[in-house]
Amino acid sequence: MSINLDELQSIGQRRLIGCWEHTSTIMTEGKGCIIRDITGKEYLDCTAQAWTLSVGHSHPRVIGAVKDQIEKLANVFFAYRNVPMLMLAEKLAQINPEGLNKILFGLCGSTAIEGAMHLAMRYTGGQDFVTFYNAYHGRTFTTIGMSYTQESFVQVKKGLEKFVPKPIRVPSAYCYRCRFGLKYPTCNLLCAKFVETALQHAADTEVAGVMLEPIQANGGHIVPPPGYFQEIRRICDQYDVPLIFDEIQTGMGRCGKMFAGQIFDVIPDIMVIGKGLGAGFPITAVVTKEKYAHLEQGEWGFTHSGSPFACAAALAAIDVLIEEKLIENAERMGKMFMDGLTELAKRYPIIGDVRGKGLMIGIEMVKDRESKEPAVEEAEEIVNQAMERGVLFGKSGVGLRGGNVVKIKPPLCITKEQVGQALNVLEDVLKEVQS
């Protein structure tokens, strides 16, 4: 089929239901950390395409595994088992934190989050969930209910109230903008302790679970302080409420360990993984302990969940992560980024905060360091200008129009030279935006 760029753009405008703030750029090829658009322009991809391509674009082992699988068996109904699905279940049981060895496969992160909620509700008989300010758990009706307190997103729930649940919301550990106006460590982790208050006083029914991202992702890469998760774990244990980790963004090596919970030395009761798991192919999983792993016949399953080719991709991606030592690389390259950004913060006051773990890094832009007014337009400008100069960054966080936090989450195979390139482009853009 021969079709030119203008025609393709026109199809996009005429045919797609636009509901996403996006560029009209059409991407056509990717390799490693580089993605190319239809005009041939190359970009260093510091987004890993919604943070999924942990092993990089089109890793030959992943593509090879998928090709081999689709030649044998491309699809099979989930009620039957398939070899890659069983091998992946076994592999996950080996790499997961201790005890998390029972598995449900999902298609996308949002439905897997619902799977985790389902298990927790069946175990506890509870109906309420505790979730956190700035959380993001997905875009199905249930998961938008669990998400989105940022002003930019509250509007997506309007008019859907009948189907959107309301969780018990508690402040997250956002030290840069502490909701209690306190400072760590003299705060004595009040935000963590507040979860106990919520469990005691805020629920109308039994609480089915406390659900959070170990590092809040769409909230703006918000990293809790030391001791936070020990307190949350203590509270969940004391009240026998399952602790659910949404590791959809943080898991599969992104933060410099296989799972972010390992950085904070805490094991949840139920954990949800996705994104990097399939290295670009659609697969997610809920993993849990034996005691929560109970559903009745027919209570779970989607047409394509556990599809053989996506499981084959995930199996290959896990091998690549381990054998090519990409998790260690994430830690090293993450440190290089953090050092470079800390230096930039000394010269560019628009940088209010730099935070992250491994290759999950956020740069919070502010108009003024004293007032911390979110520099939303400037963050947008930075991302747009960097794209023009050939580097893709992400954006989320506080404020309208998608937030004020510039996000760096490249494939975990990024090299030192590419980190240098990203930092140089960022500095060039900061000079312009701040002038």
Ligand X SMILES: Cc1ncc(COP(=O)(O)O)c(C=O)c1O
Question: From the CB of 212, what's the least distance to ligand X, in Å?
Answer: 10
* Secondary structure of residue 355 in the 3-state scheme: strand
Asked whether the beta carbons of 110 and 282 are under 8 A apart, the reply is no
**Which strands sit side by side in the sheet containing 284-288, from one edge to the other?**
102-106, 284-288, 270-273, 243-246, 207-212, 128-132, 168-170
Cα(412)–Cα(265) distance, rounded to whole angstroms?
22
Nearer to ligand X, 215 or 366 (CB): 215
- Choice between 133 and 136, CB closer to ligand X: 136
Q: Which residue is nearest to ligand X (CB)?
A: 109
Q: How far is the CB of 154 from ligand X (least distance, A)?
A: 17
Nearer to ligand X, 92 or 425 (CB): 92
Nearer to ligand X, 213 or 353 (CB): 213
Closer CB to ligand X, residue 113 or residue 408? 113
In one-letter notation, the amino acid at residue 126 is G
* Minimum separation from the CB atom of position 213 to ligand X (A): 5
> What span, in angstroms and rounded, lies between the C-alpha atoms of 318 and 419?
23
Least spacing, CB of residue 216 vs ligand X, in Å: 8
> Residue 143 Cβ, how far from ligand X at the closest point, in Å?
7
Q: How far is the CB of 98 from ligand X (least distance, A)?
A: 23
Q: Which of 406, 402, 363 is nearest to 383 (CA)?
A: 406
Measured at the CA of 217, the angle between CA 88 and CA 402, to 5 degrees, comes to: 130
**Tokens 């779970």, residue?**
300
**How far apart are the C-alpha atoms of 330 and 176, rounded to whole Å?**
24
Q: How far apart are the first and last CA of the chain?
A: 47
Q: Which residue, 100 or 107, is less far from ligand X as judged by CB?
A: 107
* Interface residue list for ligand X (CB under 6 A): 108-110, 113, 136-138, 213, 217-218, 246, 248-249, 274
Residue with tokens 């730099």: 354
In contact, 352 and 364? CB cutoff 8 Å: yes
Q: How far is the CB of 268 from ligand X (least distance, A)?
A: 14
Closer to ligand X by Cβ: residue 283 or 433? 283
**Residue 372 CB, nearest approach to ligand X (Å):** 24
Report the amino acid identity of residue 399. Answer: G
Nearest approach, Cβ of 309 to ligand X (angstroms)? 17
Two tokens, residue 10: 């026109």
CA distance 245 to 364: 24
**Identity of the residue, 112 or 433, whose beta carbon is nearer to ligand X in the bound complex:** 112
C-alpha to C-alpha distance for 86 and 139, rounded to whole angstroms: 29
Q: Which distant-in-sequence residues (6+ apart) come within 8 Å of 189 by Cβ? A: 173, 225, 227, 228, 231
C-beta of 52 vs 418, nearer to ligand X: 52
Three-class SS state of 227: coil
Q: What angle do CA 21, 24, 26 make, to 5 degrees?
A: 125
